[in-house]
Amino acid sequence: MTMLKIDDINSYYGDSHVLHGVSLTVGEGEAVCLLGRNGAGKTTTILTVMGYLKPRPGRIVFRGRDITALPPYAVSRLGIGFVPQERGIFPSLTVRENLTVFARAGKGAVNSPWTLARIYAMFPHLEARAGNLGFQLSGGEQQMLSIARALMLNPSLLVLDEPSEGLAPLIVHDIVRTLIALKREGLAILLVEQHLPTALAVGDRHHVVNKGEIRFTGTSAELESNEFVLRNYLSV
């Protein structure tokens, strides 16, 4: 069953036409990845989904409801948790305060609701750092906190913008393990990534974006075997 449908969206920054007819779907409990080089249009796609940009034209439907014209706070309330590229945690609040300040007992939770106790069970290091301020955390800890904070909104769809960027391989491994665990619980995921191994480990389907257009759609096996796509759209 389709949870999110992005239908022929065109997005602009001022007069600059960035997305050219992007269409994709995310099914219930499915992990879908957007891949591409810097400037390909990946982040613009999810900013449009989250309501920060308005498609002209295009349509976005979430669980049967047209959300194209909704502002970001309204999109979030419908059950879409967003983990931005810059992480967006509050540096002057403690870990616990970051987790609870916007916590919501939402209806979107697939399994049991996300509570502070459940978050600490999945992210034990955050419990150990519960009293530390946001700016006192390492980059990897901040990324884990950003994911955990999005889960505290009890979403049915988790949208992440390059969660592995700039992190050590061991931390990236932890993030991959976390996302796989969330997918197994039935949480749908829309993941923007440049790190191909992360995308292949997490994603069920992949869309490769180049110059604001989707150039490839397929499974992990189909992507790995497509030398043309790997060479022309994903290699550095």
What is the DSSP track for 13-37?
ETTEEEEEEEEEEEETT-EEEEE-S
Share of the chain above pLDDT 90, in %: 87
Residue 57 counted as domain residue: no
Position 26 in a domain: no
Does residue 6 lie in a domain region? no
Residue range(s) defining the domain that contains residue 136: 31-43+71-234
Q: Is residue 167 within 8 Å of 140, Cβ to Cβ?
A: yes
Residue 115 lies in a domain: yes
List, for residues 87-144, the tens digit of each pLDDT value. 889 999 999 999 998 787 655 445 578 999 999 999 999 999 999 999 999 999 999 9
Is 226 inside any structural domain?
Answer: yes
Helix 139-151 and helix 169-184: axis angle, to 10°? 10
Closest Cα to residue 90, out of 102, 108, 82, 78? Answer: 102
The C-alpha atoms of residue 160 and residue 147 are separated, in whole angstroms, by 8
Q: Is the pTM of this model over 0.85?
A: yes
- Number of domains the chain contains: 1
What's 123's domain CATH number?
3.40.50.300
